Amino acid sequence: MKYHLRKVDELGRVVLPLELRMELNLQAGDCVTMRCENGRIWLEKNRATCWLCGSPENLVELENGASVCMSCAEKILQQAAQTDEQK
């Protein structure tokens, strides 16, 4: 495994090495998902995420092509039910 050393600039940006971008076919304008776990930052290409919280797990795709996770969908349904009960 090859390691790439890069400096973080004053705005928090890091340039992804060309070799890695080519390996993932990562183009300018592509979206990436990032998360921090056990002191490491994981970065994945073009993974669908929840429109509300950004989670990539347990997604349901909506008619408009956006996705929400089951946790957010359940919160919306609970709030809708509470709002309905108050009427």
List residues near Zn ion by CB under 5 A.
50, 52-53, 55, 69, 72
As measured in angstroms, the least distance from the Cβ of 77 to Zn ion is 13
Distance CA 31, CA 86 (A): 41
As measured in angstroms, the least distance from the Cβ of 3 to Zn ion is 33
Taking the CA atoms of residue 31, residue 36, residue 39 and residue 43 in that order, the dihedral angle to the nearest 10 degrees is -20
Distance CA 81, CA 34 (A): 33
Q: Which is nearer to Zn ion, 21 or 55 (CB)?
A: 55
Q: Which is nearer to Zn ion, 33 or 55 (CB)?
A: 55
Q: Which is nearer to Zn ion, 24 or 52 (CB)?
A: 52
Q: How far is CA 83 from the centre of its chain?
A: 30
As measured in angstroms, the least distance from the Cβ of 67 to Zn ion is 9
